[in-house]
Structure 1
Amino acid sequence: MSLVTIILNIILPPLPVFLKHGLGTTFLISVILTMIGWIPGVIHAFIVND
């Protein structure tokens, strides 16, 4: 995982998920988790972009 991906995972979690997986259920889950709370979105982004 590159430094840019790590920074994007922290700042805006859905963006790196979109860049890696495109539009789909993974991106939708990331957006929903980020809207519920920033921390769940960040955790999901790190797990998905591992």
Structure 2
Amino acid sequence: MDIIRLICAIFFPPLGVFLQTGLSTQLALNILLTLLGYIPGIVHAVWIIARE
């Protein structure tokens, strides 16, 4: 399942975070980072998925 989350995190970072944490502050932070810049959103999503 982590592979699917990582693929989602690369193409649409908030989806990868949502699959890992559900509705949370991490999801809100990732949406903000993705809006500010696509790469920070990806980095944050991969970090969240790899951490847990």
TM-score, normalised to structure 2, is: 0.86
Where does structure 2 lack aligned partners over 5 or more consecutive residues? Answer: none
CA distance in 2, matches of 1:22, 1:5: 12
Asked whether 1:49 is paired with 2:49, we answer yes
* Identical pairs, percent: 40
What is the Cα deviation at residue 44 of structure 1?
0.1
User: What's the CA shift string for 1:1-50, capped at 9, x where partnerless?
Assistant: 63322211110000011111111110000000000000000000000010
CA distance in 2, matches of 1:23, 1:2: 18
Q: Secondary structure at the match of 1:49?
A: helix
Q: How many residues align?
A: 50
Report the AA paired with residue 31 of structure 2. Answer: V
Misfit runs of 4+, over 4 Å: none
